[in-house]
Amino acid sequence: MSILETALQDAFNRRLFLRHSTTAMGAAALGSLFSPRGVAAEPAPVAKAKRMIYLFQSGAPSQMDLFDPKPGMTAHRGEDLPASIRQGQRLTTMTSGQAQFPVAPSIFQFAQHGQSGMWLSELLPHLSKVADDLCMIRSVHTEAINHDPAITFCQTGSQLAGRPSIGSWVSYGLGSENADLPAYVVLTSFGSGRPDDQPLYDRLWGSGFLPSKHQGVKFRNKGDAVLYLTDPPGVDRQARRQMLDRLAALNQQHHTVVADPEIQTRIAQYEMAFRMQTSVPDLLDITQEPKHILDMYGPDVTRPGSYAANCLLARRLAERDVRFVQLFHMGWDHHGGLPAAIKGQCRDTDQATAALITDLKQRGLFDDTLIVWGGEFGRTIYSQGGLSENNYGRDHHPRCFTVLMAGAGIKGGVTYGETDDYCYNIVRDPVHVHDLNATILHLMGVDHTRLTYRYQGRDFRLTDIHGDVVTGVLS
């Protein structure tokens, strides 16, 4: 046997062992998600949600200007934030050097809406009409104080890059119900409140150390949503099919020798791309949508890549049983000029978000679709920089912020958690980001403590070693 043949045989034996071992461990891990571990183990949760739409508001919306009114702060306008409230807590470098931290009450009016009497800002007139469908969690908190680690933490359960995203975990644990579209689709849009806001990175929807077939597939917000869907001139569907068949045979031969699981992923992705050549153009074609539906989402719905267009696309993906749809809307990072900027963000998002909820309801999809709306942290009650009667900015604040949930398995018309008079600290029912993610997985029928993947000698999961299901928001 030649040296090359010996090396190939060694590689084959080693990879064959690892492949079989991984398959066995994977089967055991998957079985543990849905069946009890021994007689005393708790059964896996019953899935309330078949799919999820995550409306991520990148940049951190100001909770006290939208969801958490503090009318008592009007009497303290311009006063320095009391040390007893701040409690020596960490500040960003953007405000840590300020001589004072002047309290900046919101200039926007709040009112109660729906039978539940939920408090919402005047900036959200459309969401106010579906208040009884919403669960408002005012007590979400995190450790991260800057955007990139905070967004990474929300998406992957770690402030350090490299872990699988939540959508990838869901794809890994539950698979896909549509053979013609990815299990995990990502849509992005630029906000009008601050067009040059914090950038997004593809790793936020990456699969990390999970097989790469579980990573999110991003539809572009400019130009063609997916590149190279059309066959080049002179190549028809039959020729493309024959080419992929021959390519798959060659890849399978290579896999037989080296047993690299990524080769199987490559084969599967080529097949998915072939099917998407038909499924994606149909998905993106909204010309058959009734005018009253387009009007419901607002004037931006016909502009590809807008938040409104992406909300309508999310509904069309939900109809096609795509497991996990994530919208990232940028533009919420309002360190200065907040009143004007946040009005723009709300014009982008308010009508379309409410329309998505209404649209899902009238199509019978609301009760098995989980919807989450929120950013990576909150905003400070004190002003960053100068404070005037009609203008202020707010710095990052991880100690408390608001997330909305609706749909499958969620109590509508509920306000959960409470912050202090300064909207600075949580005084009742804290919800950590790990708790939020544990609750999301629970609603999708997965015990977050059992959804694990062994990598570099240890078992990883989305919630690491933390997280409790927030039973108070469950219906």
User: pLDDT by residue (tens digit) across 355-375?
Assistant: 999 999 999 999 999 999 999
In a domain, 249, yes or no: no
Six token digits for residue 237: 């569907």
User: pLDDT by residue (tens digit) across 121-174?
Assistant: 999 999 999 999 999 999 999 999 999 999 999 999 999 999 999 999 999 999
Write out the residue range of the structural domain in which residue 1 sits: 1-44
- Report the Cα–Cα distance between both ends of the chain, in Å, rounded: 66
145 with 9, same domain? no
DSSP string, 377-390: SEEEEEESS---SS
- How much is the CA Rg of the chain, to the nearest whole Å? 24
CB-hemisphere CA count at 13 Å for 288?
Answer: 6
Cα angle value 245/246/247 (rounded, 5°): 90
194 with 305, same domain? yes
198 with 296, same domain? yes
Which 3 state secondary structure label does DSSP give 118? strand
Give the global pTM. 0.88
- CB neighbours (10 Å) of residue 290? 8
Total domains in the fold of the chain: 2
79 with 95, same domain? yes
Q: Is the pLDDT of residue 179 over 90?
A: no
95 with 173, same domain? yes
57 with 188, same domain? yes
Question: What pLDDT score was predicted for residue 57?
Answer: 98
Give the DSSP H/E element, type plus range, for residue 374. Answer: strand 369-374
Residue 156 sits in a domain whose CATH number is 3.40.720.10
State how far the Cα of 398 lies from the Cα of 144, in Å rounded to an integer.
Answer: 6
335 with 316, same domain? yes
- pLDDT exceeding 70 applies to what percent of the chain? 91
Residues with Cβ within 8 Å of residue 448, at least 6 apart in sequence: 437, 438, 441, 442, 461, 462, 463, 467, 469
Question: What pLDDT score was predicted for residue 23?
Answer: 45
433 with 348, same domain? yes
In a domain, 341, yes or no: yes
30 with 160, same domain? no
In a domain, 241, yes or no: no
Location of structure tokens 């900046």: 104
- pLDDT exceeding 90 applies to what percent of the chain? 73
Lowest mean pLDDT among 138-152, 225-239, 324-338: 225-239
Six token digits for residue 356: 């998505």
Tell me whether residue 291 is exposed, middle or buried, using C-beta atoms within 10 angstroms of its C-beta: 0 to 12, 13 to 18, 19 or more.
Answer: exposed
Location of structure tokens 């409690």: 87
Selection from 62, 59, 98 nearest residue 194 by Cα: 59
- Quote the strand ranges of 284-366, DSSP E: 324-329
User: pLDDT by residue (tens digit) across 76-105?
Assistant: 999 999 999 999 888 999 999 999 999 999
Angle between helices 237-258 and 261-284 (to 10 degrees): 160
In a domain, 72, yes or no: yes
Question: What pLDDT score was predicted for residue 182?
Answer: 92
In a domain, 252, yes or no: no
Question: What pLDDT score was predicted for residue 243?
Answer: 76
174 with 215, same domain? yes
Lowest mean pLDDT among 189-198, 377-386, 407-416, 420-429: 189-198
177 with 326, same domain? yes
Selection from 198, 210, 220, 89 nearest residue 152 by Cα: 198
List b or e across 149-174, with b for residues whose CB sees 16 or more CB atoms inside 10 angstroms. Answer: bbbbbbbbbbbeeebbbbbbbbbbbb
